[in-house]
Amino acid sequence: MISGRTRRIVVLHLAIIGLLFVLQFVLPAYHHTNLARIMVLATFAMGYNILFGYTGLMSLGHAMFFAAGMYGAGLCVYYLQFGAGAAFVLGILAGVSLAAVFGLFALRTTGVSFLIVTMMFGQACYLTLLYFNEITLGDQGFTVSGNLQALHQAGVGFAYSDPDVKFNAAWLVFAGALSISTAIAASPIGRVLIAVRVNEERTRLLGYNTFAYKWLALCVSGAIAGAAGAAYALLFSYVGASFASILYSIYPLLWTLLGGAGTTLGPLVGTGVMFYLIDLTSGWTAAYLFIVGGSLLALVLWFPQGLMGAVRARWARWLP
Amino acid sequence: MREVSRRRRLRQHHSLYARPANEMSFGPHLFLAFLEGTVTAFVLALTALGLSLVFGVMRIVNVAHGEFFMLGAVLAWYCTALLGGSPMVGFALALIVAPLLVGAIALAADWLVLKRVDYNPESTIVATIGLLYIVQQLVLTVFGPEARPVEAPIYFRVSFPWFGYSGYKLIVAALSALLLLGTWYALSHTKLGLYMRATQQDYEIAQAFGVPVRRVYATVFALGAMLAAVAGVLIVPVQQAHYLMGLDPLLLSFIVVIIGGLGSLKGTVVAAFVIGISDGMVSVFFSPTLAKILATLLVAAVLVVRPNGLFGDNRT
Amino acid sequence: MTPVLATAGLAKRFGGLLAVDNVYFEVPKGQIRAVIGPNGAGKTTLMGLISGRLTPSAGKISFNGRDVTRQRAWERARSGIVYTFQVTSIFAGLSCYENVALAAQRHLARSMFAQVLLDEKRISDRVDDALRQVGLAHVTSQRADSLPYGHQRLLEVAMSLALEPQLLILDEPTQGLANAEIDTLCQHVRAITDSVTVVIIEHNMPVVLELADCITVMERGAVLAEGEPAQIAGDTQVQRAYLGT
């Protein structure tokens, strides 16, 4: 029974990854670019989902990890002329180190205090980027494309501004993150993370050091968010402090809730739907963030399990 | 990118608020910073007290608290702009209308949203984030994106030997102090205060003794919002009304309630003074941005030593 | 021989209330020890101190001769002290399999990093074993909180079994169970005492007299009497304290 479930999970997720790959040959240019962006942002949401959806820790400052990845990669390219690969790795390292240090004291708080502390530190990171504006250029932002060397592989050059390179790089990052989060969700570790969410006290009395598990979840979450931030900087070429603002901490929460917290595919679904909703509304009003507020309220009141959560509850109990 | 230009505009207003006088010597400069800090502290205590009351009694965190502050400021602009004439009249009207209107909005939010999610802490946070954006974007649509000044109702300068200081700011501090005292009196001497303390102690026992817990909840939520709105009205002649102005007081209030200990009113007021005065000092000597970064680092330090805040319940 | 569990001068104060007062409590290996006493006698608080859910105000706790007073709850659970709650405390929303798997995999791999390398097959074998032992093999994939109360209790026993504890603390295990279910539970408890030492808090006197090798009576936070079941049953002081006559 168990191995049957595992096989189903693997097949489904591979099929989704395959479908996304094929979509690049079908989609018109506009949606082609959008999907590349959605995949990177969904990666951010998947990182968030590991912490919030599985472990039950709601963070309101996740933009700091995204920004850490973005600036970790972006600054290295801008000042030190790093290649894309090294910059990407550095972005991940920046995300994971920030998460590791932050977790050591933030996780000492529980319940709503944790939420407040994450929000505060998210904002402090944003302000720090603005304060050191001479180095970070946070206020105006900067582009990395001018300093970024094209990738040379087997004698062929791949420029990151090329839409196809952009799409496939985004796809790789997404596929990697989805594989990692699915592997975690379906593993013994994932089971403990879920147990922490459901009943932390009981988990502790089973003999689990729940602090360590929460810290691990935060580090993985920070690493994936950092990877998303680094990929965003490298592929879409813009680095700015606005990505560290509170809105970018609320977005992954919204995407995850809409898609279904604690489901592996929810972040992708939620990010996609919300991306197009905001894309449509920002076309005719400056107050398009109204959609963000309205959706959050509606989700809490009428649809707390989210889209994939509903699918799981109704049709496919086996979904991780 | 739109966000960035907004931010820059906001910071220009900040510099109106705390202007370092470069030619001054250190002593008077320090005194000026202390004055600025004290005014900030009083207003912050008022704002954070609302947040702390709501958490203490209802065990929920209201992320839209800063928007109630902003609504107070924006409504004050409407009152003075629509009435014209003496700024005193409009301002007095704002001091009555803004809290009432904001209180009504809070009551509606409690009834339509919070009650429906059964005051679940996490759902409430998500819901109030939703509320934050809804209020903010509605104000953007109706009031517009620009920052609008409100004339101070009273204009005079208090002359110190080294500099003149805005008399209005001192009045703001005095009024805040009065309101703080009033709130304290209401909590310790009225039936509502008794109900609130009973509910805070033990929800179920309070209910069993006939405390109308749901009505206490609604009242407390409205009261918290009203305190923020009054703070917004008081500060607007110093700071200008803008639809994004709610974020800074929200974060400062968060810092204050975490350092003071969630739910501890004494802690809230003490921490408001620590943070307010240090914020004022650092803002005058360095920059408001640095002040907020340092305050957050202070929170980290406090958390390492006492995870539940200075005055919080630190039993484990 | 060193007792499995020994407390010395253990005390816990909640504000002005001394819930546990200078308790010396020793349990030798393999024994079933019952702790009885009126409500509020401090039984659950004492177990909370032993399992590490509460920190003592004074005194020492040693487990297999080692001082564990400063160990945290999860460290004690890891070294073999398992506590089952007064009210069922299963993981609601997870299946019975997942519930027991959490216990099984903790037993198979102690550290977080060892968990990463764990093979699901080994876990599932163990889960199946434990569920079969308590007669719940047929509900493996059902949601734990959808089970009837008696089965939820048995599920907890399965979780305890999968952990292979050295000291099992059962806090009022028969509360809310039907007579037939109580019999099953007693059988399970007796079956595991070859390797496990059991401390059981219980109000149901027939169960206590049937299971216990030794009984400790508590009143107002202190130990009032201790002895074999027959001895305790005949003690007039105990009868007065317990029955309130």
Residue C143, SS3 per DSSP? strand
| Residue A198 in contact with partner chain C when CB distance is under 8 A | yes
- Alpha helices in chain B, H assignment, sequence order: 2-17, 26-58, 65-83, 87-109, 121-143, 167-189, 191-201, 203-208, 213-239, 247-260, 265-285, 288-305
Q: Say what angle helices B121-143 and B65-83 make with each other, to 10 degrees.
A: 20
CA closest to B314 among chain A residues: A109
What is the spatial distance between Cα C45 and Cα C67, in angstroms, rounded to a whole number? 19
Q: Given pLDDT bands bounded at 50, 70 and 90, which one contains residue A153?
A: low
Question: Which residues of A are less than 8 Å from B1 in CB distance?
Answer: 141, 240, 242
What is the spatial distance between Cα B124 and Cα C114, in angstroms, rounded to a whole number? 38
Q: What is the DSSP letter of C70?
A: T
In total, the C-beta contacts within 8 angstroms joining chain A to chain B are: 141
- The minimum CA-CA distance between B315 and chain A, rounded to whole Å, is 13
Distances (CA, A) of C222 to C12, C18, C24, C54, C204: 11, 10, 9, 17, 21
Exposure b/e, B80-106, CB count within 10 A at least 16 = b: beeeeeebeebbebbbebbbebbbebb
Question: Which residues of B are less than 8 Å from A131 in CB distance?
Answer: 287, 289-290, 293
B-facing residues of A in 111-150 (CB < 8 A) are 111-113, 115-117, 119-121, 123-124, 127-128, 130-131, 139-141
Lowest mean pLDDT of A176-185, A207-216, A248-257, C231-240, name the range. C231-240
Query: Could A207 and C163 be called an inter-chain contact, meaning their C-beta atoms sit closer than 8 Å?
Result: yes
Distances (CA, A) of C73 to B220, C47, C78, C81: 38, 12, 9, 9
Token pair 């409205």 is found at B222
What is the spatial distance between Cα A312 and Cα A306, in angstroms, rounded to a whole number? 10
Residue A206 is nearest to which of C92, C106, C123, comparing CB atoms? C106
| Termini Cα distance of chain A | 15
- In a mutational test of the A interface, the residue from C115, C118, C131 whose CB has the highest number of chain A CBs within 10 Å is C115
What is the spatial distance between Cα A121 and Cα B300, in angstroms, rounded to a whole number? 9
Exposure b/e, A110-127, CB count within 10 A at least 16 = b: eebbbbbbbbbbbbbbbb
Phi, psi of C118 (to 5 degrees): -70, 140
Q: What is the pLDDT of residue A154?
A: 54
ipTM of the complex: 0.88
Phi, psi of A142 (to 5 degrees): -145, 165
Taking the whole predicted model, whether its pTM rises above 0.90 is answered as no
Query: Could A289 and B136 be called an inter-chain contact, meaning their C-beta atoms sit closer than 8 Å?
Result: yes
Give the residue with greater pLDDT, C88 vs C19: C19
pLDDT beyond 80 at A158: no
Lowest mean pLDDT of A46-60, A235-249, B12-26, C219-233, name the range. B12-26
Domain-located, residue A293? no
Domain count for chain A, please give it. Answer: 1
Question: Which residues of A are less than 8 Å from C126 in CB distance?
Answer: none
What is the spatial distance between Cα C183 and Cα C189, in angstroms, rounded to a whole number? 10
Q: What is the pLDDT of residue A1?
A: 45
Domain-located, residue A218? yes
Q: Say what angle helices A247-259 and A63-80 make with each other, to 10 degrees.
A: 120
Phi, psi of B211 (to 5 degrees): -75, 125
Query: Could B131 and A293 be called an inter-chain contact, meaning their C-beta atoms sit closer than 8 Å?
Result: yes
Q: Rg for chain B (alpha carbons), in Å?
A: 19
| Residue A284 in contact with partner chain B when CB distance is under 8 A | no
Q: What is the pLDDT of residue B139?
A: 94
* Residue B39 CB partners (closer than 8 Å, separation 6+): B169, B170, B172, B173, B280
Residue B254 is nearest to which of A119, A240, A245, comparing CB atoms? A119
What is the spatial distance between Cα C138 and Cα C125, in angstroms, rounded to a whole number? 15
Question: Which residues of A are less than 8 Å from C163 in CB distance?
Answer: 206-207
Query: Could C89 and A199 be called an inter-chain contact, meaning their C-beta atoms sit closer than 8 Å?
Result: yes
Residue A117 is nearest to which of B113, B140, B303, comparing CB atoms? B303
In SS3 terms, chain A reads as CHHHHHHHHHHHHHHHHHHHHHHHHHCCHHHHHHHHHHHHHHHHHHHHHHHHHHCCCCCCCCHHHHHHHHHHHHHHHHHHCCCHHHHHHHHHHHHHHHHHHHHHHHCCCCCHHHHHHHHHHHHHHHHHHHHCHHHHCCCCCEECHHHCCCEEECCEEECCCCHHHHHHHHHHHHHHHHHHHHHHHCCHHHHHHHHHHHCHHHHHHCCCCHHHHHHHHHHHHHHHHHHHHHHHHHHHCEECHHHHCCHHHHHHHHHHHHHCCCCCCHHHHHHHHHHHHHHHHCCCCCCCCHHHHHHHHHHHHHCCCHHHHHHHHHCCCCCC
Domain-located, residue A300? no
* Residue C236 CB partners (closer than 8 Å, separation 6+): none
CA closest to C100 among chain A residues: A206
Domain-located, residue A286? no
Query: Could A206 and C159 be called an inter-chain contact, meaning their C-beta atoms sit closer than 8 Å?
Result: yes
Q: What is the pLDDT of residue A105?
A: 86
Domain-located, residue A283? no
Average pLDDT for A230-256: 92
| Residue C85 in contact with partner chain A when CB distance is under 8 A | yes
Subunits close to B (at least 3 CB pairs below 8 A): A
Q: Identify the helix (H) or strand (E) that includes residue B63.
A: none
pLDDT beyond 60 at C129: yes
Q: Beta partners for C81?
A: C167
What is the spatial distance between Cα B14 and Cα B40, in angstroms, rounded to a whole number? 12
| Residue C123 in contact with partner chain A when CB distance is under 8 A | yes
What is the spatial distance between Cα A37 and Cα A20, in angstroms, rounded to a whole number? 13
Q: What is the pLDDT of residue C98?
A: 93
Q: What is the DSSP letter of C23?
A: E
What is the spatial distance between Cα B39 and Cα B177, in angstroms, rounded to a whole number? 10
pLDDT beyond 50 at C41: yes
| Residue B305 in contact with partner chain A when CB distance is under 8 A | no
- In a mutational test of the C interface, the residue from A54, A205, A215, A263 whose CB has the highest number of chain C CBs within 10 Å is A205
Give chain B's length.
316
| Residue A1 in contact with partner chain C when CB distance is under 8 A | yes
Residue B151, Cβ density class (10 Å: 0-12 exposed, 13-18 middle, ≥19 buried): middle
Distances (CA, A) of C75 to A205, B32, C80: 9, 55, 9
| Residue A299 in contact with partner chain B when CB distance is under 8 A | yes
- As given in the structure block, the two tokens for residue B280 are 């004022």
Q: Which of A75, A97, A73 is nearest to A87 (CA)?
A: A73
**β-strand C214-219 against C32-36: which pairing, if any?**
parallel
Average pLDDT, chain A: 89
What is the spatial distance between Cα A218 and Cα A55, in angstroms, rounded to a whole number? 9
| Residue A277 in contact with partner chain B when CB distance is under 8 A | no
Cβ-contact A81, A147 below 8 angstroms: yes
Question: Which residues of A are less than 8 Å from B297 in CB distance?
Answer: 124
CA closest to B114 among chain A residues: A301
Boundaries of domain holding A93: 4-245
**β-strand C81-84 against C167-171: which pairing, if any?**
parallel
Q: What is the DSSP letter of B61?
A: -
Query: Could B126 and A121 be called an inter-chain contact, meaning their C-beta atoms sit closer than 8 Å?
Result: no
| Residue C114 in contact with partner chain A when CB distance is under 8 A | no
Query: Could A293 and B134 be called an inter-chain contact, meaning their C-beta atoms sit closer than 8 Å?
Result: yes
The pLDDT tens digits along chain B (316 residues) read 444 444 444 444 443 444 444 556 788 888 888 888 899 899 999 999 999 999 888 888 899 999 999 999 999 999 988 887 788 888 889 999 999 999 999 999 999 999 999 998 889 999 999 999 999 999 999 998 998 888 888 878 888 888 888 888 898 999 999 999 998 888 888 888 888 888 887 878 888 888 888 888 999 999 999 999 999 999 999 889 999 999 989 999 999 988 888 777 888 899 999 999 998 888 888 888 898 899 888 888 887 777 777 777 644 3
Q: What is the DSSP letter of B160?
A: P
Q: Beta partners for C219?
A: C222
B-facing residues of A in 227-246 (CB < 8 A) are 240-242, 245-246
What is the spatial distance between Cα B133 and Cα C9, in angstroms, rounded to a whole number? 57
Average pLDDT, chain C: 87
Q: What is the pLDDT of residue B2?
A: 45
Residue C51 is nearest to which of A2, A205, A216, comparing CB atoms? A205
Q: Identify the helix (H) or strand (E) that includes residue C98.
A: helix C96-108
CA closest to A141 among chain B residues: B1
- As given in the structure block, the two tokens for residue B86 are 């003496």
Give the residue with greater pLDDT, B68 vs A318: B68
Subunits close to C (at least 3 CB pairs below 8 A): A
Q: Given pLDDT bands bounded at 50, 70 and 90, which one contains residue C226?
A: confident
Cβ-contact A95, A218 below 8 angstroms: no
What is the spatial distance between Cα B94 and Cα B111, in angstroms, rounded to a whole number? 25
| Residue A161 in contact with partner chain C when CB distance is under 8 A | no
Q: What is the pLDDT of residue B313?
A: 62
Q: What is the pLDDT of residue B3?
A: 46
Phi, psi of A63 (to 5 degrees): -60, -25
Domain-located, residue A318? no
Domain-located, residue A81? yes
Q: What is the pLDDT of residue B232?
A: 94
CA closest to C164 among chain A residues: A206
What is the spatial distance between Cα A8 and Cα A320, in angstroms, rounded to a whole number? 10
Residue C116 is nearest to which of A189, A209, A210, comparing CB atoms? A189
What is the spatial distance between Cα A258 and Cα A265, in angstroms, rounded to a whole number? 11
Domain-located, residue A62? yes
Query: Could B137 and A289 be called an inter-chain contact, meaning their C-beta atoms sit closer than 8 Å?
Result: yes
Residue A290 is nearest to which of B133, B251, B293, comparing CB atoms? B133
Lowest mean pLDDT of A83-87, A97-101, A210-214, C233-237, name the range. C233-237
Q: What is the pLDDT of residue A149?
A: 64
pLDDT beyond 80 at C85: no
